[in-house]
Amino acid sequence: MSPTRRGDRGQATVELALVLPLVAVLVLLVLQAGLVVRDHVLVQHAAREAARAASVADADRSTAATRAAARAADLDAGRLRVSSTVSDGGERVAVHVDYRSATEVPLVGLLLPDVELGGDAVMRVEAAHR
Q: What is the pLDDT of residue 127?
A: 72
pLDDT tens per residue across all 130 residues of the chain: 555 566 677 888 898 899 999 999 999 999 999 999 999 999 999 999 999 999 998 888 999 999 999 999 889 999 999 999 988 788 999 999 999 999 989 888 888 899 999 999 999 998 764 3
Q: What is the pLDDT of residue 2?
A: 57
Going across the sheet that includes 92-101, the strands are: 80-87, 92-101, 115-124
Q: What is the pLDDT of residue 33?
A: 94
Q: What is the pLDDT of residue 130?
A: 39
Confidence (pTM): 0.81
Three-state SS for 16?
helix
Domain ranges of the chain: 15-124
User: For the residues of 37-66, what is the DSSP string, one character each?
Assistant: HHHHHHHHHHHHHHHHHHHH-SS-HHHHHH
Kindly give the residue spans of alpha helices, DSSP state H, lying in the chain: 11-56, 61-72, 108-111
Q: 76, 78, 73, 23: which is closest to 49 by C-alpha?
A: 73
Q: What is the Cα–Cα distance from 61 to 91, expressed in whole angstroms?
A: 13
Pairing mode, if any, of strands 115-124 and 92-101?
antiparallel
Query: Which secondary-structure segment (H or E) carries 114?
Result: none
Q: What is the pLDDT of residue 97?
A: 97
